[in-house]
Amino acid sequence: MWWYRIKSFFKFYWLASTKYNVQSKFLHEFVVHVLDTNKNYYAFEKIENERNKLKSNQEKVDVSDYGAGSVELKSNHRKIAEIANTSLSEPSKCKILFQIANHFQCKTILELGTSLGISSSYLASANSNSVVYTLEGDSSIASKASEVHQSLGLKNIKVTVGKFDDNLLKVCRDIESIDMVFLDGHHQREATMAYYETIRPYCHANTIIVVDDIYWSAGMTDAWQMITDKKDVSLSIDLYDIGIVFLKSELSKQFIRLVPFRYKPWKIGLFG
Ligand SMILES: C[S@@+](CC[C@H](N)C(=O)[O-])C[C@H]1O[C@@H](n2cnc3c(N)ncnc32)[C@H](O)[C@@H]1O
């Protein structure tokens, strides 16, 4: 898998465009306001303090593997610090999630894969009028995430504990109309496609779907390509570590690999 990620990274880098090649007005604005902004928010510092606490937490929890598993962590008796060091989205990725939610003023956000609650905290901090619905299979991890949310004073996050297969449809029905999706759990082709198909009827023309770890494995890249090939997907942005798709019908169908700017995919994803 490591070899696949390294090979894919070089291919991505070779084929990628930079912000200077961006033609469309919509994409240009997305680059300026979401990808290339250096705006820092007070929330970032508070959430990163929580991440640092998790990274030094030596408490052990028994966890179950629901997804494709961790490359680094083989034991199911894990230190919170180990999970925090290997499973969470890096600050640069979390800031992109925040900027998307903030720029498009997303009110209903669905996340698959809460883990210790860091990315959900970024998403929820972008707009206090939003509700972030986040799903996590492991109850010990989910309760740590809730502690993080509480410590940050975030009241707009709803954590649902249990397998995605058992809960996703019910949560989608509760939300009814989803503004933003972050798919960050169960990194396998069939699972990712099944979750996408479950979620899709609850999306609307302005929904933004972010798929994590699209070069984690050949299966994840296949899933990403199948999503971008869908007729109702207009713009797809490949940032190597994450893929972002738009369903807006007024945008012409386009697939672009973008070398991000402040966001550093070479720091993440390759070995995670
Ligand atoms: C990569 S972590 C999420 C990281 C988090 N989004 C962040 O960046 O802070 C993925 C999480 O999804 C959970 N997960 C994976 N597959 C699952 C499934 N099929 N059902 C329920 N939970 C699952 C795992 O237990 C893990 O905690």
CA 88 – ligand 1 centroid, Å: 9
Q: Decide whether any atom of ligand 1 lies within 6 Å of the 221 Cβ.
A: no
| Amino acid in the structure at residue 56 | S
Pocket of ligand 1, candidates 44, 50, 66: which has the most ligand atoms within 8 Å of its Cβ, to mutate? 66
pLDDT digits (tens, 9 = 90+) for 104-144: 999 999 999 999 999 999 999 999 999 999 999 999 999 99
Rg of the chain over all Cα atoms, to the nearest angstrom: 17
Token pair belonging to 113: 């894969």
Question: Residue 26 and residue 108: Cα distance in Å, rounded?
Answer: 22
Predicted confidence (pLDDT) per residue in 193-247, tens digit: 999 999 999 999 999 999 999 999 999 999 999 999 999 999 999 999 999 999 9
Alpha carbon distance 106, 122 (integer Å): 13
pLDDT at 72: 47
Q: Give the closest residue (by CA) to ligand 1 atom 12.
A: 113
Grouping H, G, I as helix, E, B as strand and the rest as coil, residue 57 is coil
Taking the centre of ligand 1 as the mean of its atom positions, its distance from the CA of residue 13, in whole angstroms, is 28
Model confidence at 261, pLDDT cuts 50, 70, 90, reads low
Lowest pLDDT segment from 24-38, 116-130, 160-174: 24-38
pLDDT digits (tens, 9 = 90+) for 79-106: 999 999 999 999 999 999 999 999 999 9
Around 172, how many Cα atoms within 13 Å sit in the side-chain half-sphere? 19
> Residue 87 C-alpha to ligand 1 middle, in angstroms?
8
Cite the beta strand spans of the chain per DSSP E: 60-62, 77-79, 108-112, 131-136, 157-161, 178-183, 203-212, 235-238, 242-246, 254-257
Domain boundaries 2-60+74-267, corresponding CATH code: 3.40.50.150
pLDDT at 198: 98
Contact (Cβ atoms closer than 8 angstroms) between residue 15 and residue 221: no
